[in-house]
Structure 1
C-alpha cells in the first residue's frame, strides 16, 4: 500500500504524535519546505528513537525530550562533515592521480599511448586489463577537444600525436583510478606506494617503515575505502554512521600498516580520517582535524550527552577522540 501525500503541517502533526518536541512550528515548517522530509527525518531519526516503544507500537516513537531541532542539528552536522571530508578526499585523489601517472609514465615513457597496451598491465586477468583499456580508450575519445581546438587534449593530439597519462588522469574518476591502480604491474604499484610512504615519513611522527610489496592489497583496499566515502559524499549520503562497502555491499577491510601504533580498522569515519592521514601533508591533516573537532564540539552542545556519546561511537571515535586525532599529526 502506497503512503498518501502529507502536507508540511500534517507532517509536523505526525511527528508530535510520535513524541517529538517541536519548539518553533513555523521554523520547522520552513526547514521541511527547504529540505526533503524523508532525507531529514527518516535519514537521521534512528539514533533518537526509543527502540522499545517503537517496537511495541510498531511505529516510530522518539525518546522523551527529543526535539525537531536536535534532529536538524545532526542533519546539518552530517552535511558539514560531508563537505569537509570531500575537500580532503579530493586532495588525496589528486595526489594519487599524480603518482600513478608519474610512475607508470616513468616505466613506459618511450611508448606512445602505453596505457592502451595490454602488456603493460597485470597478466593475471587479461579480461580485467582489456576492460580497463576499453575504458581508458572511451575516456580519451569522449573528452577529446579537437572540435574547438583548445585545451591539453587537442594540444597533445595535434603537436605530439599522443595523450600522456598525466593528462588523461585529469578526466578519470576516483573509481577509475582505483581500477587503474589494481591493474598495474606489482613493480609500479610498489613504486607508487613507496612514493606515498616517503612523503608520509617526512611529515608524521607516527611513521612506521614497511615493505611496499607486502601491502599492495591493503593499499588497494585503502583507496577503495576512500572511493566509497567519496561516492557517498558526492551523492549527499548519510556519513556519520557509514561503513565503507564495495560494489557488492560487503564491508571493505584493510589496515593502518603505515602507523607505528595503529588502532583496529573498522571502516567508519574515524578509519577514513586515519586513511587520509597517509595521503595528506601535515598541514592538510591539521586543517582537517581542526574542522572535524570544531563540528563535533558544536554538535555536542546541541545534543543530550547520551545521544552525543552514541553518535561519537557510531563514527568510530574512541572516548578520548580529541587526543587520538591529534596524536597522528
Structure 2
C-alpha cells in the first residue's frame, strides 16, 4: 500500500500535529522560530527516532518528550558535524603535505618525472563508470592530467609560468577521495614513507598490516568527511567502511568482544576518533574530542535523563566519555 501524499502544512499546523502525537511544546515561540529557521524535516524527521514510543501502532512520542529535547539533539549533531569537518580538513592538509613530499623525494618534482607508470601500482581493472575497462593507474594519471589542465589557481599559474607542476601544487587540485586513491596506488616503499611522516612511526616498524590499518583510517576519514559535508546526521551514523580491530582499540578501552558484539570502533564516531589518533598532529584529535564532549555535556545538563540513551546511540561507553571529560577539564 502506498503512503499518503505529503502535503504542505503551515508552521502552526506542524506544531499541532506534533502535539497530537504527544510531543510537549514547552516553549511555543521558540519552537515556531526553530521551525521557521531550520525546517520541520531537518529537526523532527532527522532526530525524532530516539523519542518515539516503539510500542505504539501510530507514531507517538514517549510521554513527556519536549520539543526542546529534539531541537537540542539537532544542535548537538550540528556541532559534531562542524567539528568533524574541521578535523578532516586538518587531516587532509597533513596528508596532502606528506604525500606531496614523498612523491617529490622518491620520483622528482617535475610532473614528467613523477607522473610515470613505473611510480604506481597498476591496480585493478575498473568495471564501471567513466573509466570502465581501464586499470586504476590509468584513471589516476588521467586525474593528474585533469588537475594539470585545470583553470583554477594555483594550477593555472604554474602551468602557464613554468610549464610544469610540482607535487605540492598538484595535490591541491585533488579531492580527499582522489588523495586516498593516490595513496592506494603508491609503491610499497612510498607508502612506508607516507605512513612514517604522517604518524611519526619508525619506518622499520611499519609492516603490511600497518599499511592496511592506515589505508582503513584513510577510508574512515574520507567516508565521514563526505557524509558530514552533505549534511548527514553524524552523531549515531555508521559509515560503510570499517576499521579492523587493532591494539589502538585497546587504548580506547574497546575489547575485542565489544568490537564484535556492539560494532564499537568499527564504523561509528569512535572509529573516526581512533582514525584521528594515528596522525602525528595530536591537536586534531584533541580538538575534536573537546568539541564533542563539551557539546554532550551541554545537552546532558539540560536533559540528564538521556545520558545512557545518547551514549548508546553514539556507541561510546560511559567510562571512556568520563575519561575524555577529565582530560578536557585538566
TM range (shorter): 0.7 to 0.9
Deviations 1:145-203 (A, max 9, x none): 5xxxxxx434433443310111111121111111111111121111111222326x8xx
Q: Report the equivalent of 1:204.
A: none
The structure-2 alpha-carbon separation of the partners of 1:327 and 1:97, relative to structure 1 and needing over 3 Å to count, comes to farther
Name the SS for the 1:52 alignment partner.
coil
Q: Deviations over 1:16-71 (max 9, x none)?
A: 01110001222211111111211211110001111111xx22xx211111000110
What TM-score do you get using the length of structure 1 for normalisation?
0.85
Runs of at least 5 residues in structure 2 that lack an aligned partner in the other structure: 126-134, 260-264
- Computed over aligned residues only, the root mean square deviation of the Cα atoms, in angstroms, reads 2.4
| Maintained 8 Å contact 2:183/2:191 | yes
Of 193, 210, 213, which residue of structure 2 is paired with 1:215?
Answer: 210
The separation in 1 between residues aligned to 2:206 and 2:325, in whole angstroms, is 26
231, 240, 248: which is aligned to 2:235? 240
SS of alignment partner, residue 318 of structure 2: coil
Q: Does the CA-based 8 Å contact 1:113-1:163 persist in structure 2?
A: no
1:191 corresponds to = 193
Of 65-74 and 109-118, the range deviating more from structure 2: 109-118
* 2:79–2:291 contact (8 Å) kept in structure 1: no
**8 Å CA contact retained: 2:123, 2:185:** no
Equivalent position of 1:205 in the other structure: none
Match in the other structure for 2:163: 161
Give the structure 2 partner of residue 138 of structure 1: 146
Cα pair distance change 1:328/1:23, threshold 3 Å: closer
Indicate the residue corresponding to 1:318 in structure 2.
317
Deviations 1:209-252 (A, max 9, x none): 9424332222112111111111122111100111122xxxxx42
Q: Which moved more, 1:176-185 or 1:260-269?
A: 260-269
Unpaired segments ≥5 residues, structure 1: 146-151, 202-208, 246-250
For the Cα contact (< 8 Å) 1:88–1:288, is it kept in 2? Answer: yes
Q: 1:326 and 1:294 mapped to 2: Cα distance?
A: 8
TM-score (structure 2 length as normaliser): 0.84
